[in-house]
Chains A and B, each alone.
Chain A
């Protein structure tokens, strides 16, 4: 779960990390009120979950009121890599002489958190990591003990941060680790940390991603998560409790189990179609969940055809089929062609029960996907 920059910065500021003065704005008027208070230069920053906002035109520095108005107008409502910008952060420009990268993340391979510091801040850190990995200093933290303060200092010195600001940077890093632990973050990074000509250290950007599996014990962050959905269908999936990811194709996909649903997406692509979504309805297939899943996929305007693939394990295929029939009965009409394939326990019995007046049935995964791809092609022709 990704927080917006402004949400993360509020959390940083509360924890004592220096951040630039800023205001959130949803209209050009609000943005202008904000710059009037903050002064110039001021950064106008799109608040969307997209990396590389600056390059994509989502961050502009205004030096006077006319520019501020122009940039606010440009950025508010703009499409940034598929996301509509509906709020901007207006922030005091920082007169910096140096930029650093500072972050905390989980090293999956080691199963331990790792601190990362680089003097090559302000640029895409992933590029630094692949082109010049030695430019990033790393320090693993034993999750059982937590961070020893010396570790933050060690990695900052190792990265070659200027001696006069090193302890301030280490202090920020140490606070970031505390936040990482206390808020069940999966990743926190500040890129860049800016060093001013007065040798002040300021967190000029903020990325904070929270482990979705820990939201049950992070009620405040769970509320922020609510506010940070950027897609109505993804919001709906959250309400229904589905694992859902929206893609750009036109073949809707419903299935059970992450690996099998991913495989179904891959097969749609393999047979020349384009998947519209990933939707895992989880174990079993009770009528109510099937209805909700179909409702989600039908309400995606991009979807032209649907493939529904369930592997009945412990849940028997005939029970799944009953659930699907009941769910179909909820709809006055089936707006898009649906191909169903059942496998596993009692699959044959299930296939016989399915109401083939409303849906098409295939015996194998491969055949079901091919038919759904063909159905989508026929709609688009």
Chain B
């Protein structure tokens, strides 16, 4: 079992003719993902690595039965691309693009609340169900099949934790990057809820970071609704207030909300052990299993 994507997922890649889109579509195909179409305005009728390209997502869905999209579209046009995915009623849209203006995302977020599509990201590495499918830019070869679910706001931090797990022979059901922007689609809670419902996920790792209150809300959810054990990691303990630490969403406000300590306390209060180092996170997972 897995959550959100598996080997039946049929993917359309928005922006497949661009540098990033082309490269990663190739990587996804190599991993075994069903990349069935590309969508790029003005490029309909072309092929990229044997994948047919359509002018609109709508045509791609019509012709190839796609049910998910991965978006590699530059920031200025990415908001529009997400709207296109949402308006086509896909099951899942994964927005990789970093740097989408926040006000564009506020409009997307509004529409999102009116559709049944799940949005992952933006500014995320994507999602992988090892051995079945990957949608995004995660390096497939570091993941392995197993029984641990991962959800994270950061790509490379996820890879680090996966690396620590792999050394101990621990694999993953699904790993999800929810993205480092202030306004994102799928939240920690959405992912945790799905992992809780998944029979094969025996433990969950959540990697949070400074900014916002998603981790605090997730902690509450874990305390009230989860039987599957969860361990956490929070990045940004040393971040000064008012400074954006790389991710647009990773900022401690002047008033001190969104600090690492507040998140760590909330998780600890919900019975979730938080590692001081990625290595310690792997220790906790090992204890759970």
| Interface of B: prevailing SS | loop
**A126 to chain B: which residues have CB within 8 Å?**
253-256
Q: Check if A150 is an interface residue, CB within 8 A of chain B.
A: no
| Interface of A: prevailing SS | mixed
Stretch from A163-171, A195-203, A262-270 that touches the partner? A262-270
- Are B180 and A143 in contact, with the CB atoms below 8 A? no
- The verdict on A262 contacting B209 (CB below 8 Å), with A106-B106, A111-B110, A126-B255 known, is yes
Residue of B whose beta carbon sits closest to that of A274: B238
Q: How far is the CA of A311 from the CA of B102 in the complex (A)?
A: 28
Contact flags B97-115 to A (C-beta < 8 A → 1, else 0): 0011111011101110000
Tell me how many residues of A have a C-beta within 8 Å of chain B.
54
Stretch from A28-36, A37-45, A213-221 that touches the partner? A213-221
Q: Check if A97 is an interface residue, CB within 8 A of chain B.
A: no
CB distance from A311 to the nearest CB of B (A): 5
- Are A266 and B141 in contact, with the CB atoms below 8 A? no
Q: How far is the CA of A222 from the CA of B213 in the complex (A)?
A: 30
- The verdict on A262 contacting B250 (CB below 8 Å), with A257-B155, A311-B159 known, is yes
Q: How far is the CA of A262 from the CA of B154 in the complex (A)?
A: 10
- Are B157 and A259 in contact, with the CB atoms below 8 A? yes
CB distance from A373 to the nearest CB of B (A): 13
Residue of B whose beta carbon sits closest to that of A49: B242
- The verdict on A260 contacting B156 (CB below 8 Å), with A142-B110, A143-B103 known, is yes
CB distance from B274 to the nearest CB of A (A): 12
- Are A345 and B142 in contact, with the CB atoms below 8 A? yes
Q: How far is the CA of A252 from the CA of B12 in the complex (A)?
A: 42
Residue of A whose beta carbon sits closest to that of B247: A258
Q: Check if B190 is an interface residue, CB within 8 A of chain A.
A: no
Q: How far is the CA of A267 from the CA of B157 in the complex (A)?
A: 13
Residue of A whose beta carbon sits closest to that of B239: A262
Q: How far is the CA of A216 from the CA of B249 in the complex (A)?
A: 19
Q: Check if B75 is an interface residue, CB within 8 A of chain A.
A: yes
Q: Check if B44 is an interface residue, CB within 8 A of chain A.
A: no
Q: How far is the CA of A126 from the CA of B151 in the complex (A)?
A: 32
**A275 to chain B: which residues have CB within 8 Å?**
238
Partner of A259, one of B76, B154, B255, B279: B154
Q: Check if B152 is an interface residue, CB within 8 A of chain A.
A: yes
Q: Check if B90 is an interface residue, CB within 8 A of chain A.
A: no
Q: How far is the CA of A275 from the CA of B277 in the complex (A)?
A: 16
- Are A365 and B159 in contact, with the CB atoms below 8 A? no
Query: Which B148-203 residues have a C-beta within 8 angstroms of A?
Result: 152-160, 163, 180, 182-183
Partner of B76, one of A51, A216, A260, A270: A216
Most buried by B among A113, A269, A311: A311
CB distance from B239 to the nearest CB of A (A): 7
Q: Check if B139 is an interface residue, CB within 8 A of chain A.
A: yes
**A212 to chain B: which residues have CB within 8 Å?**
244, 248
- Are A245 and B240 in contact, with the CB atoms below 8 A? yes
Q: Check if A98 is an interface residue, CB within 8 A of chain B.
A: no
**A365 to chain B: which residues have CB within 8 Å?**
160, 277-279
Q: Check if A68 is an interface residue, CB within 8 A of chain B.
A: no
Most buried by B among A243, A245, A262: A262
- The verdict on A108 contacting B159 (CB below 8 Å), with A143-B103, A258-B247 known, is no
Q: How far is the CA of A267 from the CA of B234 in the complex (A)?
A: 12
CB distance from B136 to the nearest CB of A (A): 11
Q: How far is the CA of A186 from the CA of B54 in the complex (A)?
A: 36
Most buried by B among A129, A255, A257: A257
- The verdict on A344 contacting B247 (CB below 8 Å), with A113-B106, A259-B153, A269-B238 known, is no
**B156 to chain A: which residues have CB within 8 Å?**
255-257, 259-260, 311, 313
Residue of B whose beta carbon sits closest to that of A1: B244
CB distance from B236 to the nearest CB of A (A): 5
- Are A258 and B75 in contact, with the CB atoms below 8 A? no
Residue of B whose beta carbon sits closest to that of A186: B102
Q: Check if A184 is an interface residue, CB within 8 A of chain B.
A: yes
- Are B246 and A278 in contact, with the CB atoms below 8 A? yes
Residue of B whose beta carbon sits closest to that of A214: B101
Q: How far is the CA of A12 from the CA of B250 in the complex (A)?
A: 29
- Are B159 and A344 in contact, with the CB atoms below 8 A? yes
- The verdict on A181 contacting B103 (CB below 8 Å), with A213-B75, A247-B240 known, is yes
Contact flags A332-373 to B (C-beta < 8 A → 1, else 0): 000000000001110000000000000000001110000000
- Are B76 and A258 in contact, with the CB atoms below 8 A? no
- Are B245 and A314 in contact, with the CB atoms below 8 A? no
**A269 to chain B: which residues have CB within 8 Å?**
237-238
- Are B213 and A211 in contact, with the CB atoms below 8 A? no
Partner of B157, one of A214, A260, A270: A260
**A120 to chain B: which residues have CB within 8 Å?**
none
Q: Check if B243 is an interface residue, CB within 8 A of chain A.
A: yes
**B102 to chain A: which residues have CB within 8 Å?**
106, 184, 186, 211, 213-214
Partner of A51, one of B142, B233, B254: B254
Q: How far is the CA of A51 from the CA of B243 in the complex (A)?
A: 13
**A217 to chain B: which residues have CB within 8 Å?**
76, 101
Partner of A262, one of B24, B111, B163, B235: B235
Contact flags B249-271 to A (C-beta < 8 A → 1, else 0): 11001111000100000000000
Q: Check if A261 is an interface residue, CB within 8 A of chain B.
A: yes
* 14 sampled A-B residue pairs with Cβ under 8 A: A106-B103, A181-B103, A211-B101, A213-B101, A214-B101, A217-B76, A260-B235, A262-B209, A262-B246, A267-B277, A313-B137, A313-B155, A313-B156, A344-B159
**A interface list, Cβ under 8 A from B:** 51, 106, 108-109, 111-113, 126-127, 129-130, 142-144, 181, 184, 186, 211-214, 216-217, 243, 245, 247, 255-263, 265-270, 275, 278, 280, 311-314, 343-345, 364-366
**Beyond A106-B106, A217-B76, A247-B238: 5 further Cβ-contacts under 8 Å?**
A108-B212, A129-B255, A213-B75, A313-B156, A364-B279
**B interface list, Cβ under 8 A from A:** 24, 27, 75-76, 99-103, 105-107, 109-111, 137-139, 141-142, 152-160, 163, 180, 182-183, 207, 209-213, 233, 235-240, 242-250, 253-256, 260, 276-279
The 3 A-B pairs at the shortest CB distance, nearest first, are namely A259-B154, A257-B156, A258-B246
